[in-house]
Amino acid sequence: MSAAPEEPPVIGITAGDLNGIGLEVIIKTLSEPGILELCTPVVLANAKVASYHRNAIERRDFNFHIVPEMDKIQAGKPNLLNCWEEEVNLSLGEENPEVGAFAVRMLDAAIPHLKSGALQGLVTAPIHKKSIQSAHFQFTGHTDYLEERFGARATMLMISEEMRMALTTVHVPLAAVTALITQERVYQKIADLHDIMQRDFHLSKPRIAVLALNPHAGDHGVMGDEDRQQVAPAIKQAFAEGYLAFGPYPADGFFGSARHRQFDVVLAQYHDQGLVPFKASSFGTGVNVTAGLPIIRTSPDHGTAFDLAGQGIASPDSFRQALYTAIDLVKRRSQSDADRSNPLKVKQKNSKKDKPHR
């Protein structure tokens, strides 16, 4: 008897800042043929707001399946869970804290369903980091907010066909970075990346490149001692414990020689050190993964794009890729967790793989 077909995962989607392009790229993505066969999407937003955006971008042929509760969603339809009833005074393309506050409401609506398993993954449209600030939300972005709500240590991981890029520090002022680059922090990030690559990407022995903090890796202390005293010892400690970690590599020569292609993931020490080369090669097709959480969360690699909002010209490419990535990661993690619960089966499977072909 053949196995029953696997059910498409139920993926939650938040619309981000409602004055930005979030709902536009969501509508465009969910309009594409075949997408509803891959997942059951549930947009956590508001029906009136969604209708406003649909009309603004002249996509009146698209309709959400509006539901008041999660148990009313339907497979094969673009579901929208109505999260509030009050009016929202939109001003597309403008920064507005009153509108930005609704981005938190969508996140908060999604979290209980993620914790219960009713939603198996989350894709978030971009927020405006200033507009979203409030007494309830005092975070630099989705990553640290979700980290706190799920009580887990998260890693910001950018992925594309060109590279995977992780960060030791994320949204931190450059003046504060140096004090945060410690042997303990770098080692922990290497260890976390090893586990993430195994569980979510099915890489049994991931090769991890670690970038130096200073120019020329400090040049033996001439341009700073952090790489010699903190980064290099962390790499040595990790390698001694069986992690395939290498470096520290000066960032300019590393990317100039395309050496990133020799590794499964690169660990940069601060935001722009990693994100500049990543976005230079992959902007518009890259995906941000909040790795290390008990749930899958992805997002596109761009911001709210206020300058494009409401014009119908925003590209859905990165958001579409974020949704595809969430679907893939849900399936991969499910398989990894099943394998870990039955190590004998995995050993037998790997044994068969190791046999030479005849």
Angle between helices 317-341 and 343-354 (to 10 degrees): 110
Q: What is the mean pLDDT of residues 30-43?
A: 96
Q: Look at 83-92, 191-200, 335-344 and tell me which has the smallest mean pLDDT.
A: 335-344
Mean local confidence (pLDDT), 306-317: 96
Segment 281-292 mean pLDDT: 91
Supply the range of the domain harboring residue 227.
161-284
Q: How far is Cα 156 from Cα 90, in angstroms, rounded to an integer?
A: 31
Model confidence over 138-191: pLDDT tens digits? 998 899 999 999 999 999 999 999 999 999 999 999 999 999 999 999 999 999
Note whether 8 and 127 are same-domain residues. Answer: yes
Q: Are residues 20 and 105 in the same domain?
A: yes
pLDDT at 344 over 80: no
Interval 27-53 mean pLDDT: 96
On whether both 114 and 182 belong to a single domain, the answer is no
Which residues of the chain form beta strands (DSSP E)? 10-14, 40-45, 65-67, 79-82, 121-124, 155-159, 164-167, 207-211, 244-249, 265-268, 287-291, 296-300
Q: Residue 299 pLDDT more than 70?
A: yes
- Looking at the structure, tell me whether residues 259 and 310 fall in a common domain: no
Q: What is the largest CA-CA distance in the chain?
A: 68
- 23 and 83 co-located in one domain: yes
Clarify whether residues 346 and 262 are in a common domain. Answer: no
Q: Is the pLDDT of residue 352 over 70?
A: no
- What average pLDDT score do residues 258-266 get? 96
Three-state DSSP class for 46?
A: coil
Name the pLDDT band for 351 (thresholds 50, 70, 90): very low
Give dist(CA 173, CA 272) in Å, integer.
Answer: 11
Is-contact 146 153, C-beta < 8 A? no
Q: Which of 127, 190, 157 is nearest to 286 (CA)?
A: 157
Say whether both 19 and 116 belong to one domain.
yes
Last residue of a domain, one of 255, 284, 313: 284
Check whether residue 150 and residue 173 sit in a common domain: no
Residues 39 and 126 in one domain: yes
Contact 211, 267 (CB under 8 A): yes
Nearest CA among 88, 50, 48, 83 for reference residue 67: 83
Nearest to 191 by CA among 164, 210, 177, 175: 210
Rounded to 10 deg, the angle between the 47-56 and 22-30 helix axes is 80
Residue at a domain's end among 258, 284, 310: 284
How many domains are contained in the chain?
A: 2
- 116 and 194 in a single domain? The answer is no
What gap in Å lies between CA 114 and CA 311, rounded to an integer? 33
Please tell me whether residues 264 and 343 are part of one structural domain. Answer: no
Residue 358, pLDDT > 50, answer: no
Please tell me whether residues 105 and 58 are part of one structural domain. yes
pLDDT grade, residue 219 (50/70/90)? confident
> Could you tell me which of 175, 180, 184, 169 has the C-alpha nearest to residue 273?
169
Choose one of 232, 257, 284: the last residue of a domain: 284
Residue with more model confidence, 1 or 103: 103
Q: What's the pTM?
A: 0.90
Answer whether 181's CB lies under 8 Å from 169's CB. yes
Please report where in the chains the tokens 């999260």 appear, as a residue: 83
Q: What is the pLDDT of residue 345?
A: 55
| Strands 121-124, 296-300: pairing kind | parallel
Q: What is the mean pLDDT of residues 340-345?
A: 68
pLDDT at 174: 95
Q: What is the CATH number of the domain that holds 267?
A: 3.40.718.10
Contacts of 353 (CB under 8 A, 6+ apart): none
Task: Answer whether residue 355 shows pLDDT above 50.
Answer: no
> What Rg value do the Cα atoms of the chain yield, rounded?
22
